[in-house]
Chain A
Amino acid sequence: MKKTFFSILCLFLMLQTFISCKDSFLNETNYSAYAPATLTDSLGFQASLKGLYTQMSYYYTYSDHQGWVAVWQTGTDIAYSTPNQESQEIPYYSYDKLVSTDGAASYTWKWAYQLINNANNIITSVESPSISGISQGGKNQIDAEAKFFRAYAYNMLATLFGRVPVITKTISGPKTDFVRAPLDSVNTLIEKDLIYSAANLPLIDNTNQARANKAMSQQLLAEAYLRMGRPADAEVQCKAILNSGKFSLVTSRYGIKKALAGDPFSDMFIYGNQRKSQGNTEAIWVLQQENPTTIVGGTSGSPQQRRVWGAAYYNIAGLAICDSLGGRAIGRLRLDNWVLYRLYESTDMRNSRFNIRRRYTYNDPAYPAKLGLPVPYNNADTIYKICPSTTKWSCYDPLDAFGYSTIKDFPIMRLGETYLLLAEAQFKQGGAHINDAVTSINTLRARSNASPVTATQVSLNLILDERARELLAEENRRMTLMRTGMLAKRALRLNNDATSSHPIVGLDSTSVNKLLLPIPQSEIDLNKDAVLEQNAGY
């Protein structure tokens, strides 16, 4: 009996031994995720670099708060919030409510440092001597592309927050002792990164148009130099772009809707016309999107641009949602009367009915009595239901009439702006350069049939007016005004319509308070081993 007993016992114990007595039994494998260490070959770096564009897109496609897009426009000199506002933009015209827990400031901060972290991971890795199998030229180009994005993020942080912590290496563990670096060292890093990337990035062509090119670095560097008060350096960068032979102003009709009514300016903002390969000779940086029902990952979120900028005409009985009216929008903001009635000359192409829609005609067959008649423009509906609005974000997907997303490319850098940056650089240098500024501005105005300006008229305000005309709904207006220090003065002077549904409050053009966004309170609280100082006024 003992023999049987021990045989059975041995059998059982062997079962255990076979399975779990190896040393490796407790080793952990991550089966389904890449780690930075596994992405150090050429394909790995390319995937990581492309990740920077995904991260970049999160700035444009964010929709957790649908008022996000309006944050950068409302309460400046060009627009005010309608009764159809969301909530995130409220502190950006009701400046008394702009506090350190502000959601938009926090998201911007988070987004920028995530972009920096991803860029740092690539830069740290590609600059490591242990990387082999990639040529030095290849490494330099990888490094340059990552550095462009790092500089982009730091430039935005410096514009909006001023002094910020500078991180240039991979973060490999919990760290809570950040301090705000002097603005000079933030600027030095931006300049260094952009000079490097401009030197190592290729010129734009149709095949690489979706990726970083030399002109992108130069344009960003020009803008950064202007912010730093170095206009002569900025001028050099702008001229390099103009002289590259790769870009020219769009002066004639082109693209997929060439045969339909329109003008050269409106052609640039039709989805299908926006990229260089599609005929847009002004495209320096177009961040692409595709319809996600046909292309996997076509958009990284649900961009709200059309819904924010367009009028909520669907609320009017007798108006049906359609392609020619720009799809369904909800009018979260309205252009102010300065933009609508005082900014443009009547001849200005940028003010044409193809670029700013001012009137509606009943189009819903369900209302035969009204069909074809003009919608009266005479009551509260003009605040957001049939308010005049830009067509730059118009788009319509017949399979998705509700259109929570805006499926359109994001024009981030365009040659039109290069002329305006150049003009600003020339004007800031003063003296004989003023005449150069006049030439730069008039070159751009000529394309739109706007009358030329003279040297006596040129001022920073004129340049900012011209930016509004040209870059309306394209540029981040708030950032432009913060960069030039003109936010409070211009917003108070120009955005003061008696009919404004949400007038600007709590903004003071003489105070130094709130010239910058608040450092997120949670950052100050979580950074427990050092002090992150708050900006003035919070």
Chain B
Amino acid sequence: MNVKNYLFLLALSVCIMPTLFASEKSSASNNLTAQQQSKESLSGRVTDKNGEPLIGVSVKVKGTSVGTITDLEGKFSLNNISPSTVLVFSYIGMNSLELKVEGKTSLNVKLEDNSVNMNEVVVVGYGTQKKSDITGSVTSVSKERFSQIPVTNAMTAIEGAVAGVTITNTSSVPGSAPTVQVRGVNSINASTNPLIIVDGIPFEGNISYINPNDIESMEILKDASAVAIYGTRGANGVILITTKKGVAGKPVIQYAAYAGVENIAHVLTPRSGAEYVQKYADYMSQTNQIQTSPVPNLYEVANYNAGKTTDWIKEATQQGIIQDHNLSISGGAENVKYYISGDYLNEKGVVKGYNYKRAGLRSNLETNVTDYLTTGVSLFLVSNNYDGNKVNLLNASAMSPYGQLMNTTTGKYQIYPMYPELLYTNPLIGTYNDSKDQRVNVNTNFFAELKPKFVPGLKYRLNASYNYNPTNASSYVGRDGNDNSGTASITDTKTTLWVIENILSYTKDWQKHHFDFTGLYSSQKNNYTSVTAGAVGFINDILTVNNLSAGAKQTSGSYQSSYSMLSQMGRLNYSYDSRYLITLTARRDGYSAFGANTNKYATFPSLALGWNLSNESFMNSTKSFLDQLKVRASYGKSGNMAIGVNQTSLVDNTVSYPFNGVSNVTVLANILGNPNLHWETTKGLNAGVDFSFMNSRISGTVDVYDNRTSDLLLKRNLPLVTGYSNVWDNIGIVGNKGIDISLKTVNIKSKDFKWSTNWNFSTNKNEIIDLYGDKKSDIGNKWFIGKPLGAIYDYKMIGVWQTGDADLAKYSAKPGDLKFQDVNGDGKIDANNDKVYQGSTQPKWIGGITNTFDYKNFHLSIFIQTSQGSLKNNVDLNYADEQGRRNTPAEIGYWTPTNMSNTRAALSYNNTLGYGYPRDNSFTRIKDVTLSYVFSSKILEHTFFRSLTLYASGRNLYTFTNWVGWDPEDTYTGRGISYNSTNNGPNNGTISWTNNYPSVRSVVFGINVALK
């Protein structure tokens, strides 16, 4: 930075400092140095406001295709430049700049950050659009959020940071993906996950497979107009992810890495030895039993007498370690550009046996074959490894502190630490198993773009994509793992998906009119197969899963399903003078999984209007403080087809059953199909305003919306008299109304110090408007007209019965029983009259605040998120101590005649009413704090580094909540709770203790470097 500029900026800073919101001159032309010499060639350097060189800035002679891009030092040179030439400098995230050469031969150009980014190009699906011309509700997430916050998956990076998007970590298991919801729940049973599009292609995998460092930009389409181009798949919102591409010039080699430690954020500590003994004594007396021993079981006696306790949580957990390495090389020549990256992530979880390793490779290549044909290939391969012999945290929290950890004879873990109590096995015997879980994702995308010169503005693009996702999971449980026969199983699955898209687009500008059209014809097909094999009865545990034929009894299974889609789409954008904007869209989709009695096609039109008020001449007087003001409105239809395959016809299930010692295949009715099944439709109205004041000191977006979803795809419970429990149906109307607000304020801006704040707030009112056309609630399904989905409909707990209470006999209650409100006052508590609506599992509002402080080269960012006004059934409160048979968390007390607790029942209480213990799970979290230091180019001048950033980052640092449990967001299950159970049979389903994993607090240190 030369002295002149420095002085100028200093003077400027002094001028603006006193006034917080004073405007700042932004014309880059001030940075022009002129040296009148030759008229033939021109060279120069492009930097950002800090004087850091900008690489890959496009420098073009206005009105021609002549141009170049800046190199690693930000330098460029052009020949044959006439003095009257106007050069256009453009770079993503910066204001474009037009400069007259005026005979100069050397230019030092400084580009300004465009925090408003009104000229920024935004990906909108099947193309891009200038942000200022967008009429729908589209939120962009800056790439810094992905590369600067060290996270294992992209969704976690945007949790709480984007208005209108709710991201919930239902599981903290390493490698698991959070759930994502855009603008509230609008479907009852069908998927409410948004559609994810990576580089234009629907992504059918776990979002954690995508390396966050590869993400160039992420856009979230929220309103009907924006999502209408995705038709039947758009109603839950669309997330568009664009990966990084190479830029012509010298290669850029970047390395980013972080490593750190993870610890349990909050331990739900089990009772200590003394508390456990007291609990047992209280249990025995409350159930009127005679206590003969201070501890309930034989194996506890020795340790009790010796005063020796085991900290089971400590035994089951460990120091979590996470590290991530990412190397990318990008660059290219005029006609070939490349971006290649490799990523390796290794997370050793805080509970033993929970691991996640990810190795990924991406290669994005682009070639201009001729001046009218561009082709490119993008390859993406990621291998995910979840191998690990998992420890059972649920059992660890249930163990008696006096239970025996080790079997002293065998030197192995004692299978039943509380023998003869056989209900709970040692949480650590899982470490003797052999469990593998590997998932590979191979994505290959090809595109070709034809731009015929004889029709300027016309473009044809072909996208062809093939995904191949194999998974392999296997497990072996042997004698040490409490299976005396030895059980092995292997599951292989394979998903393939191909997509072909033909996109035709045409752009024309004349006078002040801008016109562009995009047309699409696409098809896709998904195929899924799985093969399972298993064996039981091995001689010993040596072979594990490697020779199933060595088992006494073999089982096998296979499954196949597929679906296909066919789509046509058209979109028309028209704008006049960048003031009046209009977008018309229509998409027609066909989906194979809809019923035989319906047309498999649906059409989804939309209309959107925009008005850039700030571009009007009558607004000239406001230019001094108003940078930009745009109002938008849209109305349209989008759809949801997200139901599984094969739901439209009656289907049988096969179950094996023995007849005279021989296994027979028997058949039972399984699914009641519905041949009338079709898509659900959301009609959405959205109005929004985008604004920027005082040189971007305050900028933001406010959107209000009113969505109404009809023909809900609903898994409707049926009277069991039909022989079935439920059926998929199109029924009912659900409304979502809400406000999304995003605001960015630059609170302090001086030469060395800047404090800015990003605010986002969203509230959504979800409401069932109708179900069966008669405006009647469906109590059986807990769907109430006028109430939101996820209703908590339960007895209202008003305390605990105490000794001597007047109505004990009337309610045949005993002291220590939970006391519920007798709503109709009939003297008994029954489901018909005394259950009341108490709230919903959906939060009333969510928000986030990110404060960023920049002092010289130090940057500190603090992100706080909040979610308020939701209820959740608390499993930890619900599970009893299983009739004195397990330890319980110290935090979760129980009633005794002396403590007279009014919140917890006695140990003898039996929850015969099936009360779910709904509790408020609102929380506020200090989610991320990141401190980074960016080395100045001056320091790096004589090193190999072009840039170097060091940072430290803490995640999940503290949570403010009234929730009692491991974490307000995570879902835990109790012993023996199973899910996925099918229509027939009593005991189908898988036990899901493996999801019981605490949320973690992590502290990592990282480095981002670019080589010269």
Residues of A bordering B, CB below 8 Å: 1-2, 5, 8-9, 12-13, 15-16, 19-20, 25-37, 39, 44, 47-48, 50-51, 53-55, 57-58, 61-64, 83-84, 87, 90-91, 94, 96-97, 99-101, 103, 106-107, 109-110, 113-114, 116-118, 120-121, 165, 167, 171-176, 178, 207, 209-211, 277, 288-290, 293-298, 300-302, 314-315, 317, 328, 379-380, 399-402, 501, 505-506, 520-523, 525-528, 532
Q: Give Cα A28 to B460, complex, Å.
A: 32
Docked-complex contact A9 and B666, CB < 8 angstroms: no
Docked-complex contact A506 and B812, CB < 8 angstroms: yes
Q: Give Cα A62 to B984, complex, Å.
A: 11
Docked-complex contact A178 and B287, CB < 8 angstroms: no
Docked-complex contact B669 and A36, CB < 8 angstroms: yes
Residues on A with C-beta less than 8 A from B913 are 99, 101
Nearest CB to that of B291 among chain A residues?
A380
Q: A15-B500, A297-B655 are in contact. Are A26 and B721 (CB under 8 A)?
A: no
Docked-complex contact A63 and B987, CB < 8 angstroms: yes
Give the shortest distance, in Å, between A514 (CB) and chain B (any CB): 13
Nearest CB to that of B462 among chain A residues?
A12
Docked-complex contact B652 and A167, CB < 8 angstroms: no
Residues on A with C-beta less than 8 A from B539 are none
Docked-complex contact B592 and A26, CB < 8 angstroms: yes
Docked-complex contact A297 and B552, CB < 8 angstroms: no
Q: Is B593 an interface residue when CB atoms closer than 8 A count as contact?
A: yes
Which of B536, B600, B657 is A26 in contact with, Cβ under 8 Å?
A: B600
Docked-complex contact B553 and A296, CB < 8 angstroms: yes
Q: Give Cα A421 to B386, complex, Å.
A: 61
Q: Is B670 an interface residue when CB atoms closer than 8 A count as contact?
A: yes
Q: Give Cα A242 to B719, complex, Å.
A: 41
Nearest CB to that of A55 among chain B residues?
B668
Docked-complex contact B502 and A12, CB < 8 angstroms: yes
Docked-complex contact A171 and B666, CB < 8 angstroms: no
Residues on B with C-beta less than 8 A from A178 are 719, 721
Q: Is B804 an interface residue when CB atoms closer than 8 A count as contact?
A: no
Q: Is B645 an interface residue when CB atoms closer than 8 A count as contact?
A: yes
Q: Is B938 an interface residue when CB atoms closer than 8 A count as contact?
A: no
Give the shortest distance, in Å, between B289 (CB) and chain A (any CB): 6
Nearest CB to that of B717 among chain A residues?
A526
Q: Give Cα A200 to B167, complex, Å.
A: 62
Q: Is B555 an interface residue when CB atoms closer than 8 A count as contact?
A: yes
Docked-complex contact A1 and B657, CB < 8 angstroms: no
Docked-complex contact A290 and B661, CB < 8 angstroms: yes
Q: Give Cα A19 to B521, complex, Å.
A: 13
Which of A118, A399, A527 is B719 in contact with, Cβ under 8 Å?
A: A527
Residues on B with C-beta less than 8 A from A165 are 721
Residues on B with C-beta less than 8 A from A116 are 723
List which B913-967 residues lie within 8 A (CB) of chain A.
913-914
Q: Give Cα A77 to B655, complex, Å.
A: 37
Residues on B with C-beta less than 8 A from A94 are 812
Docked-complex contact A32 and B559, CB < 8 angstroms: yes
Docked-complex contact B659 and A210, CB < 8 angstroms: yes
**21 sampled A-B residue pairs with Cβ under 8 A:** A2-B452, A9-B460, A12-B448, A16-B500, A19-B500, A26-B592, A34-B652, A48-B652, A50-B666, A53-B666, A55-B984, A58-B985, A64-B986, A84-B883, A106-B720, A109-B720, A173-B674, A174-B716, A301-B987, A399-B485, A527-B721
Chain B 646-685 per-residue mask, 1 if CB under 8 angstroms from chain A, else 0? 1011111111111111111111111010100000000000
Residues on B with C-beta less than 8 A from A27 are 592
The 7 closest A-B pairs by CB, nearest first: A117-B723, A297-B656, A20-B523, A525-B780, A50-B666, A526-B780, A62-B986
Nearest CB to that of B453 among chain A residues?
A1
Docked-complex contact B502 and A16, CB < 8 angstroms: yes
Residues on B with C-beta less than 8 A from A297 are 655-658, 663-664
Docked-complex contact A505 and B778, CB < 8 angstroms: no
Q: A39-B652, A64-B986 are in contact. Are A211 and B720 (CB under 8 A)?
A: no
Q: Give Cα A535 to B781, complex, Å.
A: 22
Docked-complex contact A525 and B591, CB < 8 angstroms: no
Residues on B with C-beta less than 8 A from A15 are 462, 464, 500
Residues on A with C-beta less than 8 A from B298 are 317
Which of B655, B657, B669, B718 is A176 in contact with, Cβ under 8 Å?
A: B718
Nearest CB to that of B501 among chain A residues?
A16
Q: Is B751 an interface residue when CB atoms closer than 8 A count as contact?
A: no
Q: Is B879 an interface residue when CB atoms closer than 8 A count as contact?
A: no
Q: Is B808 an interface residue when CB atoms closer than 8 A count as contact?
A: no
Instruction: Find the residue from A54, A91, A118 having the highest chain B CB count within 10 A.
Output: A54
Report the tally of A-B residue pairs with Cβ distances under 8 A.
294
Docked-complex contact B986 and A58, CB < 8 angstroms: yes
Docked-complex contact A402 and B422, CB < 8 angstroms: yes
Residues on A with C-beta less than 8 A from B537 are 293-294
Q: Is B450 an interface residue when CB atoms closer than 8 A count as contact?
A: yes
Q: A8-B373, A47-B665, A400-B484 are in contact. Are A33 and B659 (CB under 8 A)?
A: no
Docked-complex contact A28 and B646, CB < 8 angstroms: yes
Docked-complex contact A87 and B910, CB < 8 angstroms: yes
Q: A9-B460, A114-B984, A526-B778 are in contact. Are A300 and B655 (CB under 8 A)?
A: yes
Give the shortest distance, in Å, between B778 (CB) and chain A (any CB): 7
Docked-complex contact B718 and A47, CB < 8 angstroms: no
List which B821-845 residues lie within 8 A (CB) of chain A.
828, 830-832
Residues on A with C-beta less than 8 A from B912 are 87, 90-91, 97
Q: A32-B561, A99-B831, A296-B555 are in contact. Are A174 and B674 (CB under 8 A)?
A: yes
Residues on B with C-beta less than 8 A from A13 are 502
List which B56-112 residues lie within 8 A (CB) of chain A.
none
Q: Give Cα A25 to B521, complex, Å.
A: 14
Q: A26-B590, A296-B555, A300-B655 are in contact. Are A51 and B668 (CB under 8 A)?
A: yes
Residues on B with C-beta less than 8 A from A527 are 719, 721
Docked-complex contact B658 and A298, CB < 8 angstroms: yes
Residues on B with C-beta less than 8 A from A118 are 668-669, 723
Residues on A with C-beta less than 8 A from B553 are 293-296
Residues on B with C-beta less than 8 A from A55 are 668, 984
Q: Is B454 an interface residue when CB atoms closer than 8 A count as contact?
A: yes
Residues on A with C-beta less than 8 A from B590 are 26
Give the shortest distance, in Å, between A62 (CB) and chain B (any CB): 4
Instruction: Find the residue from B448, B651, B664, B986 having the highest chain A CB count within 10 A.
Output: B986
Give the shortest distance, in Å, between B286 (CB) and chain A (any CB): 11
Docked-complex contact B484 and A399, CB < 8 angstroms: yes
Docked-complex contact A288 and B658, CB < 8 angstroms: yes
Q: Is B979 an interface residue when CB atoms closer than 8 A count as contact?
A: no
Docked-complex contact A19 and B523, CB < 8 angstroms: yes
Residues on B with C-beta less than 8 A from A47 are 654, 664-667
Nearest CB to that of A400 among chain B residues?
B484
Which of B288, B372, B832 is A5 in contact with, Cβ under 8 Å?
A: B372
Q: Give Cα A120 to B778, complex, Å.
A: 28
Instruction: Find the residue from B565, B831, B912 having the highest chain A CB count within 10 A.
Output: B912
Nearest CB to that of B781 among chain A residues?
A526
Docked-complex contact A113 and B722, CB < 8 angstroms: yes
Residues on B with C-beta less than 8 A from A97 are 812, 912
Q: Give Cα A15 to B724, complex, Å.
A: 44
Q: A173-B674, A297-B656, A300-B655 are in contact. Are A113 and B663 (CB under 8 A)?
A: no
Residues on A with C-beta less than 8 A from B911 are 87
Q: Give Cα A39 to B670, complex, Å.
A: 14
Q: Is B776 an interface residue when CB atoms closer than 8 A count as contact?
A: yes
Give the shortest distance, in Å, between B87 (CB) and chain A (any CB): 30
